């Protein structure tokens, strides 16, 4: 990854490509590269869908190597949903392929005149940009099928559906999995709308003729990778729970803890949770000839994805994630996995963030558009988004806008982004993360659930305020670093509990780059990324007043624990004071 490609979509006479050395970004990848570049090059007050915004696409520091778990792709921009800096990442094959072709980043700049639609072909010979208006308003599954007829099955595809093309604020960017299904999404923050604003419909990545990226010390790298994989396989979360039941293993756990938001965050438990659980889902998948265990990219050893078939054994979607099952299921009062799977497929196909859309439909239910629990009604609302109707465009711009349009008082968002599947009142640590993260409400930014609920990396009582700010701070720093490596965030379970597995990760990085990597270096990288993101947001007009949850979380207790979010504001304001 020794080059950066800049694609100016707004150049006079048509899009142009220029190449440059990585320079000051040498040795960086993923979120570190996207956030540092956006913070430096994008005006913080620009319109996110305008000419000045950029979309930076970057594989991780270890992507394209033989290292396990290294297939995450980061995209960065100013978010049209939140107005903050944004990094959104996904699995699939794109990161590995882009890294092997040799690009540390591909940057989409400018905005073309007219309504032509473009595709970008990237291979060992260079980059071609072609007009292809036959792709207009195609959704992801038929779009990838059409592209495969021309470019084949040995490439990776990055695409947007009709939501991105329409520049809806909940639009995602899809990356194909090993079977070339567009199931892995950079979902959060409306990054698909930014790609749509650049009039780029698809990026085709072909690494034919390219080799794996070679480490500086191959023998040490192989040994460290072996130890790293051993650590993942012996940890109960990464070696047992996630492979057997996927991320949806959390449904029963969170429901029992009273932190499973239901009926638009009105209750902390859902009577139908067992029907939606990972255990029930895995049993159904296997019974129908699907699979509860599947890797979203080659080199994954956790295998927390899966294949969900209908009752006749026909593919519907990849295994819906925990957050998706919650957002379209329990949050909306729906206890039917087939309905959730249908909605998951529609989100992936149209190109939408499943968290944002599930929360949005919950807000619409609260507004009285349809009743809670209305399965067909939820499908009908999502279909409106796919059709681009006026109602669909409102819903496709997320929970905050939908709440404003329909006069809903309780809208669970921070900085305009919908909250995921954990209520912050009985899980105080995740509330700190929701409020303070640079990205808008985001559980992955500092996954306090690990320590508050799963007791990974220690034990901080989820019902008490003590220790929550420190927990969130440490997790946010670590996450920013992990997001930069190209590693799946789920490695955190093992490295938090197993010092030898953390050391193996450090040794992998060190052996690859020919350096000595320490835990302090990881902390320094995470702080550097977060500092750049915070600086961008400050210049964009964000203050400590934006680092708060919606007021109802402070004033309305939730059963069964009957408490409110109570971490003091002044403590949260100290989170980034390192």
Per-residue pLDDT tens digits for 16-59: 999 999 999 999 999 999 999 999 999 999 999 999 999 999 99
Q: What is the pLDDT of residue 299?
A: 82
Structure tokens at 279: 């255990």
Contact 439, 186 (CB under 8 A): no
Is the peptide bond preceding residue 560 cis, with omega within 30 degrees of 0?
Answer: yes
Residue 439 has pLDDT above 80, yes or no: yes
- Lowest pLDDT segment from 131-135, 192-196, 256-260, 300-304: 300-304
Between CA 331 and CA 419 the distance in angstroms is: 11
CA–chain centroid gap for 365, Å, is 25
Q: Sort 210 into a burial class: Cβ within 10 Å, 0-12 / 13-18 / 19+.
A: middle
Can you tell me whether residue 169 is helix, strand or coil?
coil
Top-confidence residue, 202 or 578? 202
Beta pairing, strands 103-109 & 3-8: parallel
Residue 1 has pLDDT above 80, yes or no: no
Instruction: Name residue, tokens 């620009």.
Output: 46
- State the average pLDDT over residues 477-491: 93
Residue 467 has pLDDT above 80, yes or no: yes
Share of the chain above pLDDT 70, in %: 100
Residue 405 has pLDDT above 80, yes or no: yes
Please enumerate in sequence order all residues whose Cβ is within 8 A of that of 55, keeping only pairs 6 or more positions apart, or say none.
75, 76, 77, 107, 108, 191, 194, 195, 198
Structure tokens at 407: 């006069």
Q: What is the pLDDT of residue 308?
A: 94
Hey, where are the domains in the chain?
3-205, 217-245+424-578, 248-414
Using one digit for the tens of pLDDT, what is the confidence trace for 87-123? 999 999 999 999 999 999 999 999 999 999 999 999 9
Comparing C-alpha atoms, which of 445, 451, 411, 444 is closest to residue 429? 451
Mapping DSSP onto H, E and C, the string for 69-123 reads: CCCCEEEEEECCCCCCEEEEEECCCHHHHHHHHCEEEEEEECCCCCCCCEEEEEE
Using one digit for the tens of pLDDT, what is the confidence trace for 285-299? 999 999 888 888 888
The CATH label, of 3.30.70.1060, 3.30.70.100, 1.10.569.10, 3.90.550.10, for the domain at 248-414 is 1.10.569.10
Structure tokens at 212: 């794996």
| Alpha-carbon distances of 110 from 75, 82, 85, rounded to whole Å | 16, 21, 18
Q: What is the pLDDT of residue 246?
A: 86
Structure tokens at 263: 């009926």
Q: What is the pLDDT of residue 550?
A: 98
Confidence of residue 210 (pLDDT cuts 50, 70, 90): very high
In the CATH scheme, what architecture does the domain 217-245+424-578 have? Orthogonal Bundle (1.10)
Between CA 267 and CA 331 the distance in angstroms is: 9
How many other C-beta atoms can be found within 10 angstroms of the C-beta atom of residue 368?
Answer: 10
Residues linked to residue 205 through DSSP beta bridges, in sequence order: 122, 156
Per-residue burial over 283-313, b if 16 or more Cβ lie within 10 Å, else e, is: ebbeebebbbbbbbbebbbbbbbbbbbeeee
Residue 564 has pLDDT above 80, yes or no: yes
Average pLDDT, the chain: 96
Using one digit for the tens of pLDDT, what is the confidence trace for 331-349? 999 999 999 999 999 999 9
Residue 124 has pLDDT above 90, yes or no: yes
Top-confidence residue, 489 or 455? 455
Confidence of residue 383 (pLDDT cuts 50, 70, 90): very high
Using one digit for the tens of pLDDT, what is the confidence trace for 495-516? 999 999 999 999 999 999 999 9
CATH for 3-205 is 3.60.9.10
Number of Cα atoms under 13 Å in the Cβ half of residue 572: 23
| Alpha-carbon distances of 157 from 153, 235, 481, 553, rounded to whole Å | 10, 33, 26, 41
């Amino acid at each position: 990854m020794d080059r950066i490609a800049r694609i100016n979509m707004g150049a006079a006479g048509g899009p142009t490509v220029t190449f440059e050395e990585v320079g000051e970004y040498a040795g960086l990848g993923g979120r570190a590269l996207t956030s540092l570049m956006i913070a430096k090059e994008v005006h913080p007050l620009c319109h996110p869908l305008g000419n000045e915004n950029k979309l930076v696409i970057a594989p991780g520091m270890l992507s394209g190597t033989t290292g396990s778990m290294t297939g995450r792709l980061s995209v960065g921009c100013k978010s049209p949903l939140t107005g903050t800096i944004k990094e959104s990442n996904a699995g699939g094959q794109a990161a590995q392929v882009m890294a092997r072709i040799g690009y540390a980043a591909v940057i989409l700049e400018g905005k073309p005149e007219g309504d032509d639609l473009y595709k970008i072909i990237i291979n060992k010979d260079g980059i071609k940009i072609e007009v292809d208006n036959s792709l207009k308003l195609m959704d992801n599954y038929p779009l990838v099928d059409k592209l495969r007829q021309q470019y084949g099955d040995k490439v990776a595809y990055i695409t947007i559906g009709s939501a991105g093309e329409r520049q809806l604020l909940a639009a995602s960017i899809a990356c194909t999995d090993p079977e070339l299904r567009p199931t892995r999404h950079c979902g959060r923050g409306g990054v698909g709308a930014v790609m749509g604003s650049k009039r780029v419909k698809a990026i085709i990545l072909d690494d034919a003729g390219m080799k794996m990226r070679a480490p500086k010390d191959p023998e040490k790298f192989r040994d460290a990778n072996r130890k790293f994989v051993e650590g993942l396989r012996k940890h109960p979360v990464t070696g047992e729970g996630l492979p057997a039941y996927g991320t949806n293993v959390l449904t029963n756990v969170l429901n029992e803890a009273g932190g499973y938001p239901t009926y638009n965050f009105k209750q902390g438990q859902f009577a139908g949770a067992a029907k939606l659980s990972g255990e029930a889902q895995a049993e159904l998948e296997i019974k129908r000839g699907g699979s509860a265990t599947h890797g979203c990219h080659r080199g994954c050893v956790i295998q927390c994805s899966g294949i969900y078939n209908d009752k006749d054994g026909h593919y519907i979607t990849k295994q819906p994630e925990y957050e998706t099952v919650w957002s379209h299921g329990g949050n909306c009062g729906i206890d039917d996995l087939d309905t959730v799977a249908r909605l998951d497929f529609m989100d992936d196909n149209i190109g939408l963030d499943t968290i944002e859309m599930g929360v949005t439909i919950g807000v619409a239910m609260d507004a009285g558009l349809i009743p809670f629990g209305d399965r067909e009604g939820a499908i009908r609302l999502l279909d409106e988004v796919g059709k681009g109707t006026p109602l669909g465009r409102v819903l496709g711009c997320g929970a905050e806008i939908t709440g404003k349009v329909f006069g809903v008082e309780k809208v669970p968002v921070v900085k305009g982004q919908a909250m995921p599947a954990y209520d912050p009142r009985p899980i105080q640590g995740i509330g700190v993360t929701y409020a303070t993260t640079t990205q808008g409400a985001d559980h992955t930014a500092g996954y306090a659930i690990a320590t508050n609920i799963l007791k990974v990396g220690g034990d901080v009582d989820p019902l008490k305020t003590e220790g929550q700010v420190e927990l969130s701070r440490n997790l946010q720093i670590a996450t920013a670093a992990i997001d930069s490596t190209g590693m799946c965030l789920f490695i955190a379970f093992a490295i938090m509990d197993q010092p030898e597995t953390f050391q193996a990760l450090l040794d992998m990085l060190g052996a690859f780059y020919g350096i000595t990597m320490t835990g302090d270096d990881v902390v320094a990288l995470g702080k550097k990324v977060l500092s750049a993101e915070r600086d961008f947001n400050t210049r964009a007009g964000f203050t400590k007043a934006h680092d708060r949850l919606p007021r109802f979380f402070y004033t309305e207790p939730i059963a069964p624990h009957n408490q409110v979010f109570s971490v003091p504001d002044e403590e949260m304001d100290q989170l980034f004071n390192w």
